[in-house]
């Protein structure tokens, strides 16, 4: 075969090989890209359906109720480009969780403030999981107390700071809004429905005092009664030293009930927080100790019968010793490691 003819045949073979290789590369690329492109499209459709469903539920009510299946699908399972605030609670009457009802009221105020604000979007949703409707969720998260607030971010798993410190901060709507702003950068301005109970109570008190002064207008000597003013001053002191102002600012729960075993705690286990019931207990203990001190002073300064004074002295001493010991035991339970005790440990 001549040399030029041989080269022509070789060139033809190489050309066909290159064309076949290019066709094979294109087909391979299509085969590799089609599954990924289809999967991406499916993922986007699923996300769109989830967002649309959450928006529909949110349009009906500000707080979306969820059971175990809804929680796993719309909160835990990807894909998700929205944040979810979940309140785990136990609102059924048989649970007798008064704290849950109080927290739910504040949660509703916050969710309504977000739902009807101009900044409302599909980037944040408020949901609730009741223990009787989603006990499996509580078990999955190893949760044994209610109420509990958690933030599930759009990306990644919840961190420690995504669980709201209810025991230390309380569950007031304003405190929850600050926590949400810190976790999601979503600012919520809380709008509360008008509450005229405080105004009505003040008006009634002023009317009562005014009526009493009017009826006693010819004899106002009771205004100069030192004992009366001393009792009023003691009431204010007891209220302030028991933590009533802290309760007003922080809005803590009255008590805490464990939904698993039904045990109710009236004393908070940390020195950084307290329950409303705890402040009432402290108020009564301080009042009992003060009464004991008053009786001791009365026994020492009065000039009555010696036997009667001795009895008053013993009663006053018993009040001071017993209730101070009780107060010290509560202090020890909150300040762990405090070494001293008296009678009651």
pLDDT per residue as tens, the chain (345 positions): 444 444 454 445 445 555 455 565 656 555 455 444 456 777 788 888 998 999 999 889 999 999 999 999 999 888 889 999 999 998 888 887 878 888 899 999 999 999 998 889 999 999 999 998 888 999 988 888 888 999 999 888 889 899 998 877 878 889 999 999 999 989 999 988 777 777 888 899 899 888 887 887 777 777 777 887 888 888 888 888 888 888 877 777 788 777 667 778 888 877 777 888 889 999 999 999 999 998 888 888 888 788 888 888 999 999 999 999 988 888 888 887 777 777 777
pLDDT of residue 260: 66
CATH numeric code, 41-184: 3.40.30.10
What is the pLDDT at residue 36? Answer: 45
* Length of the chain counted residue by residue: 345
d(CA 150, CA 250): 19
C-alpha distances in Å from residue 240, one per residue of 201, 254, 291, 314: 20, 17, 18, 29
Give per-residue burial for 304-337: e unless 16+ CB within 10 Å, then b: eeeeebeebbeebeebbebbbebbbeeebebeee
Distances 241 to 30, 169, 280, 281, 322 between C-alpha atoms, Å: 76, 19, 11, 12, 19
pLDDT of 275 reads 84
* DSSP H or E run through 128: strand 124-130
Q: Angle 306-334/276-301 helices, nearest 10 degrees?
A: 150
Residue 215 confidence (pLDDT): 80
Q: How many CB atoms lie within 10 A of CB 130?
A: 23
pLDDT number for residue 41: 75
Predicted pLDDT of residue 7 = 41
Q: Could you report how far apart the first and last alpha carbons of the chain are, in Å?
A: 114
What pLDDT, on the 0 to 100 scale, is given for residue 18?
56
pLDDT for res 4: 47
Q: Among residues 260, 91, 89, which one has the least CA distance to residue 166?
A: 89
Can you give the residue ranges of every domain in the chain?
41-184, 222-334
Print burial letters for 88-104: b (CB count within 10 Å at least 16), e (below 16).
bbbbeeebebebbbbbb
Residue 84 φ/ψ, nearest 5 degrees = -130, 130
């Amino acid at each position: 075969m001549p040399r030029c003819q041989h080269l022509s045949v070789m060139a033809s073979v190489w050309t066909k090989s290159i064309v076949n290789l290019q066709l094979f590369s294109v087909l391979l690329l299509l085969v590799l890209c089609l599954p990924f492109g289809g999967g991406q499209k499916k993922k986007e459709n699923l996300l769109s359906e989830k967002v649309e469903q959450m928006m529909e539920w949110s349009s009906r009510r500000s707080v979306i109720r969820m059971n175990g299946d809804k929680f796993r699908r719309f909160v835990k399972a990807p894909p998700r480009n929205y944040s979810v605030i979940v309140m785990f609670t136990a609102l059924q009457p048989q649970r007798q969780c008064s704290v849950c009802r109080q927290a739910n009221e504040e949660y509703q105020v916050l969710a309504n403030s977000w739902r009807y604000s101009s900044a409302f979007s599909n980037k944040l949703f408020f949901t609730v999981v009741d223990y009787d409707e989603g006990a499996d969720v509580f078990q999955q998260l190893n949760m044994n107390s209610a109420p509990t607030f958690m933030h599930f971010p759009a990306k990644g798993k919840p961190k420690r700071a995504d669980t709201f410190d209810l025991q230390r901060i309380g569950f007031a709507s304003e405190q929850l809004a600050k926590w949400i702003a810190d976790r999601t950068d979503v600012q919520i301005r809380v709008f509360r429905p008008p509450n005229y109970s405080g105004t009505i109570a003040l008006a009634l008190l002023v009317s009562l005092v005014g009526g009493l002064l009017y009826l006693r207008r010819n004899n106002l000597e009771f205004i100069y009664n030192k004992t009366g003013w001393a009792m009023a001053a003691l009431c204010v002191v007891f209220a302030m030293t028991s933590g009533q102002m802290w309760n007003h600012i922080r809005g803590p729960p009255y008590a805490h009930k464990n939904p698993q075993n039904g045990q109710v705690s009236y004393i908070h286990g940390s020195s950084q927080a307290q329950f409303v019931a705890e402040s009432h207990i402290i108020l009564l203990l301080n009042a009992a100790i003060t009464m004991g001190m008053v009786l001791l002073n009365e026994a020492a300064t009065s000039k009555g019968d010696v036997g009667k004074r001795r009895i008053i002295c013993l009663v006053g001493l018993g009040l001071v010793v017993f209730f101070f010991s009780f107060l010290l035991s509560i202090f020890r339970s909150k300040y762990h490691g405090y070494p001293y005790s008296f009678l009651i440990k």
